[in-house]
Amino acid sequence: MDETIRPHETAPPRSRSTFRRRTLLRVAATATAAVVLTSGLAACGKGSAQVAGTSGGSADNTLVVAMTASDIPLLDTGLAQGQGYEGLRFVGNQLYDGLTRFDLTKGDQIPPIVPDLAESWEANADLTEWTFKLRQGVTFHDGTPWNADAAIFNLERYIDTGTDHYYPDLNAQGGLSISGIDSFSKVDDSTIVIKTKGPWSYLPNDLATVYFGSPTAIKKLGNEQFGQNPVGTGPFQFVSLERGQQLTMKANENYWNGRPKVDEVILRPIPDATARVAALRSGEVNWIEVPPPDDVPALSGEGFQVLTNSYDHVWPWVYNTTKAPFNDPKVREALNWAIDRDSLVKNILNDTAEPALQIAPHANAAYRAENDIYGFDAAEAKQMLADAGYPDGFTMTLSYPTSGSGNMVPTPMNTALQADLAKIGVKVELKPVEWASMLTDFFAGRIPDDADALNISLSFQQEGFWSLWFGSQSGVNAGKYSNPEVDALFAKAKTVLDDKERSDIYAQAAVLMGQDSPWLVVVNDKNPRVLAPNVTGFVQPQSWFADLTQLSVS
């Protein structure tokens, strides 16, 4: 069985005036709309390719993943995100656990937060104090116990500058998940309390990427060396690392949630998409991230499993809203009407993405179909530029990554957008940047090369990303967008415990941001990946993350 998920179907774009009239009527609306959900389950069958393992387990039950990253991510608890969410997906979530995690076992729902190293949690009335009951009987890979002392040690390592084991690099990478924590304490061996600087209704969501390492190993090795010999509680444990070549992990025989079905996982950084396909066809790997879209039909015809699913992701250009002409929302809106998203999806991406017509991705709980605000009308876009004082257009620079997590095929995509914008007189100079370098600048709140805009793949999977990308006080708001009404909605969301009510608040924010157009929103990625026929049992979730524990290789 070879199952490829259908592209999300979108209605033809309405005229700009119709969009604007309807949007103005919806600013305070909170009506829900059905989100089209798609899912993929890896096919059954056997392949002829055999991939040899390097240690532990059977060569016939080894998963070899070709990543888009240019190198293996750093292996410390929070540093894997140095390669974006691909690092967390394949390294962080395999070696480590958090207090919470996303449920990735189903493909037909937005993954909810479920217990992980914490069995349960509750908050006080004003949502500033959270009590976590810790899972008992869990051990780190080195056999030492997980308990409240281990939790506090790790939180100190992330946050507490008064301890010997505080790690500034980890604090910097922890970002939104730790910045609002005021204090934490041990109640007993299986209970901790985290106090926050203000209401934080979705703290359990943001804690899903705060991972915990063995205090014994960290004390023995030190902060720098621990990242070369990581020890967590996760479903896989470290075997070996060849920097720039591969990371080998084996199944954790004593994993608290049951031993993974696959014996060994090998990660290989292969940033060139054509090389990834060649490695798959030769049997060198049996899983590739982001195939070249043009190869998708052939790979499916050859019996490989091509899996896609809508997930919480957007591929935008982030305008520098402090620089002319992008300090004018009319200019920003004009560009959003000048690009042919349908052509991009069909002719460049081969339906491995879907047009983005608003800020909220299709697989975000805040997505409401009636809030789609953009369309394609080059003539109107040109008139909008003229009305803004740019009848002959202008010249701009765009910084973009050449590869990397969630970036799909950035050079062909940006070249197509460059051609669309040239038709309305906007001349775009493309300035390629290496992915890891771009992430360094972006998370410091900078656009590389002082360009007018940057192209970067971004997720809304953790709720805190809304305020991180768009909050006027966020140090990661590289475009320097600011709207007090949007800030107020983000603050309100932190005081609301009900998930549905919070999603309505974000939907209101998405309407306001649609009017401001702080980004050129282009497409929502559908997370395409290709698996060999003999990889079975994998569920393609509506998430950038992936659960590798239930698959096997025969």
* Distance between CA atoms of residues 425 and 419, nearest Å: 10
User: DSSP H helical segments within 198-340, as ranges?
Assistant: 203-206, 215-226, 273-282, 296-301, 329-338
Q: Does domain 44-93+235-308+529-554 have CATH number 3.50.50.60?
A: no
Q: Residue 300's pLDDT is what?
A: 95
Percent of residues in the chain assigned helix, strand, coil, to nearest 5:
30, 20, 45
Q: Residue 11's pLDDT is what?
A: 35
Domain ranges in the chain?
44-93+235-308+529-554, 97-233, 310-525
Region 97-233: CATH code: 3.90.76.10
Stated pTM of the model = 0.85
CB 82 within 8 A of CB 434: no
Q: Does domain 310-525 have CATH number 3.10.105.10?
A: yes
Residue 189: helix, strand or coil by DSSP?
A: coil
Q: Residue 86's pLDDT is what?
A: 84
Q: Residue 314's pLDDT is what?
A: 96
pLDDT digits (tens, 9 = 90+) for 233-254: 999 999 999 999 999 999 999 9
Low-confidence stretches of the chain (pLDDT < 50) are 1-58
How does strand 519-525 pair with strand 313-319?
antiparallel
Locate the DSSP E strands across 414-482: 426-433, 453-455, 458-459
